[in-house]
Structure 1
Amino acid sequence: MALSANMNVMIKAARAAGRSLVKDFREVENLQVSSKGPGDFVSRADRRSEEIIREILVEARPNYGFLGEEGGEIEGKDPTRRWIVDPLDGTTNFLHGMPHWAVSIALEYKGQIIAGVVHDPAKDELFFAEKGEGSWMNQSRLRVSGRTRMIESVFATGLPFGGRGDLPATVRELARLLPATAGVRRWGAASLDLAYVAAGRFDGYWERGLNAWDVAAGLLIVREAGGFAEPIRPTRDIVEDGEIVCSNEPIFTQFAKVIRGE
């Protein structure tokens, strides 16, 4: 398939960061780890991954802005374009030796996500999409699942960890949803949850309390694979406010109503 120059740069950066992370993952017990807060850890590998990504992206597009989880925001000379980067989504999985984590890179243009990459180095799976060009995993075109019944569907979410105050709301959502489904999974990497919805592995996903870098790339990948996505509260914004409910078209209305308590 023909990829844009921006997409080629994004894939190059994601793969380079992935190679660095894999090396550290093999020696995860020796990583130097510091704590940013309860249940939220940052590692030397995480910071190095962002440095690699930033170096490649800035060299290719020096005028674009940059928003990264570790380094914060850098305003670009071009105010209309911004990279949104999670150098290691699933840090807790990574630090516990669980091979379910990813690099996420999105490109925003005038407030809209126009390209996204989610790279899972441990499984050698690269999910990517450009607006209007469909979604892909490696060389395969992606499409959301075709399931039409909630009771046959598997959903994903994130569960609040230490220090977060949204546990009661999540418990209520699970109580409403679980009896109507084939199951709910909590795998600990929002970008991969979204990529798995796009690939039809999960039938839907919802979560609150996310950051822009958690969802920006995956959101486009889901939509370009034919998925529906909205903020949980319709007046909010998915990327800016960090909340999302998404699935395939046949079950979206019912799924969203259950999550919203309607």
Structure 2
Amino acid sequence: MAGAIQKERYGSKDLEVQYKGEIDLVTEVDRACESAVVALLRARFPEHDIVTEETHLAQTGSRYVWFVDPLDGTTNYAHGYPFFCCSVALTLDGVPVAGAVYDCIKEELFTAERGGGAHLNGRRLRVSDRSELLRSLLTTGFPYDMRLDLTSALRLFNKFMGVARAIRRDGAAALDLSYVAAGRADGFWEERLHPWDVMAGGLLITEAGGVISRFDGSPIALTADQVVAANPALHALMLDVLGDRNP
């Protein structure tokens, strides 16, 4: 549904784009995808709460809460850069129990169910088995307000550049996490994310045998202020880098 909307309008020269901040975009496609997903969830699960990126919806206090990012990677989408997705996750008492991330360009559907594993188009996923940062491909992202604190964002980037094989910054956290779950990338870190960015991808990570946490190793919070994910061996090494206070 959301994927079909994204695919239909992708590359359009008359795409309606608005600004939520100096560089933070929202498009007509974000809103159309959100409306479609919310309508479907409300029809099938009327007693559940829904939290979305673009619209503040009334909450009832349900134990079941859906987190929806209708178009993760909006800037990429608006520029015709083919790295974006729709991310949907269901939590029960704050714990992710099901999630899906869909890339309509590659027609790749990443899915996870708590206790049921992680899959890509039906194929079981496992995180990579690399155990050295020097042999690893890492992914990351920068927050939209990074201009307010360039030093912090670049400090971590520079530290990992010094110990990893390579780093990619593609601009869609849910898809970055999905790639780690699939073993395409070995690790991911980012600050100042939101729950709709990470709930589905985080479940993919754990169900694929990986670990996801805050920078101090504690469980990620619903604020998603800090996220680091990798296989268990690399996760421990990444925590060491993140915990090192030296420049």
| Equivalent position of 1:51 in the other structure | 35
Does the CA contact (< 8 Å) of 2:143 and 2:193 recur in 1?
Answer: no
Partner AA of 1:23 in structure 2: E
Q: How does 1:215-254 map to 2 (within 5 A)?
A: 215-234=198-217, 237-254=220-237
User: Of 62, 74, 79, which aligns to 1:79?
Assistant: 62
| Equivalent position of 2:187 in the other structure | 204
User: Of 192, 197, 218, which aligns to 1:214?
Assistant: 197
Per the TM alignment, residue 237 of structure 1 is displaced from its structure 2 partner at its CA by: 3.4
User: Of 167, 171, 178, which aligns to 1:188?
Assistant: 171
| Equivalent position of 2:105 in the other structure | 122
| Equivalent position of 1:137 in the other structure | 120
For 2:219 and 2:213, the matched residues in 1 are separated by 9
Return closer, same or farther for 1:73/1:235 CA change in 2, 3 Å cut-off: farther
User: What does the per-residue CA deviation read over 1:166-219, in whole Å, with 9 as the maximum and x for residues that have no partner?
Assistant: 421121112221121111100000000000000001100000010111111100
| Equivalent position of 1:30 in the other structure | 14
For 1:113 and 1:176, the matched residues in 2 are separated by 31
Does the CA contact (< 8 Å) of 1:160 and 1:166 recur in 2?
Answer: no
Identify the structure with the greater helix proportion. 1
Q: Is 204-213 or 153-162 further displaced after alignment?
A: 153-162
Partner AA of 1:229 in structure 2: I
1:155 aligns with 2:141: no
User: What does the per-residue CA deviation read over 1:92-145, in whole Å, with 9 as the maximum and x for residues that have no partner?
Assistant: 000000111000000010111111100000110000101000000002100000
Does the CA contact (< 8 Å) of 1:215 and 1:239 recur in 2?
Answer: no
Does the CA contact (< 8 Å) of 2:212 and 2:220 recur in 1?
Answer: no
Return closer, same or farther for 1:226/1:62 CA change in 2, 3 Å cut-off: same
Partner AA of 1:68 in structure 2: T
Per the TM alignment, residue 251 of structure 1 is displaced from its structure 2 partner at its CA by: 1.7
Unaligned segments of structure 1, at least 5 residues: 1-15
Does the CA contact (< 8 Å) of 2:193 and 2:223 recur in 1?
Answer: no
User: What does the per-residue CA deviation read over 1:211-251, in whole Å, with 9 as the maximum and x for residues that have no partner?
Assistant: 11111110000110000111114467343243101111122
User: Of 50, 54, 57, which aligns to 1:70?
Assistant: 54
Per the TM alignment, residue 259 of structure 1 is displaced from its structure 2 partner at its CA by: 1.9
For 2:158 and 2:134, the matched residues in 1 are separated by 14
Partner AA of 1:148 in structure 2: S
Return closer, same or farther for 1:165/1:183 CA change in 2, 3 Å cut-off: same
Partner AA of 1:57 in structure 2: L
Q: Is 202-211 or 224-233 further displaced after alignment?
A: 224-233
Q: How does 1:79-98 map to 2 (within 5 A)?
A: 79-98=62-81
Q: How does 1:166-185 map to 2 (within 5 A)?
A: 166-185=149-168
Does the CA contact (< 8 Å) of 1:173 and 1:261 recur in 2?
Answer: no
Partner AA of 1:25 in structure 2: Y
Partner AA of 2:53 in structure 1: E
Does the CA contact (< 8 Å) of 2:212 and 2:219 recur in 1?
Answer: no
Partner AA of 2:215 in structure 1: I
